[in-house]
Amino acid sequence: METSFRQEMRRAWAQLAADRKPNIAFTLGMGLSTTADRLNRDAMVFLNRIERRANGPRWASRPNDMRIWALGFHEKRQSNWHLQAIGFAAPKIAERLVLDGSRIWKDVRMAGDYWADRIEDQAAYSRYVSKETWNEQAWADVFVYAPPTWRDS
């Protein structure tokens, strides 16, 4: 595939992430061998638990402005496989990601590493998190987490 096309795809992924006005970034490390499907499932379980912790047992019925959306990309599949993600989180969820995320991720993936922080420079971090999207395999394994009504917008 042409390099210029790959560069265009990378720019498009970065722009998609930046357009959603992200305010939080997190990294989910595996610590063990895995597959993209498994890591995406574990990331989904993790974010479901974060939302429940922030919004209580009826978290899935909360309005979008009380939820999180996230877009993540797999990196370093051969050595230190992890998921770099960027998202927009309601304040209670952002707080839970920063304060409780490591413990909750360890409940999902005992050997996994975790990092999260609020971000200010949306464009720069969107470019950073999508840095591996020049690779076609990255396009097939993108992680998306969003309330159902956001998926259509």
pLDDT surpassing 80 at residue 151: no
Summarize the confidence of residues 87-116 as an average pLDDT: 95
pTM of the predicted protein model: 0.89
**Confidence class for position 133, pLDDT limits 50, 70, 90:** confident
Q: pLDDT tens-digit profile of 64-79? A: 889 999 999 988 877 8
Write the DSSP assignment of the chain as a string of letters.
--HHHHHHHHHHHHHHHHHT---EEEEEE-SS---HHHHHHHHHHHHHHHHHHHH-TTGGGS-GGGSEEEEEEEE-TTTS-EEEEEEEE-HHHHHHHHHHHHHHHHHH-TT--EEEEE-S-HHHHHHHHTTTTTSHHHHHT-EEE--HHHHT-
In the chain, the percentage of residues whose pLDDT exceeds 70 is 95
Higher pLDDT, 2 or 88: 88
- Mean predicted lDDT score pLDDT of the chain: 88
Q: How far is 6 from 134, CA to CA, in rounded Å?
A: 5
Q: pLDDT tens-digit profile of 24-79? A: 999 999 877 788 899 999 999 999 999 999 999 999 999 988 999 999 998 887 78
Please give the single-letter amino acid code of residue 74. Answer: H
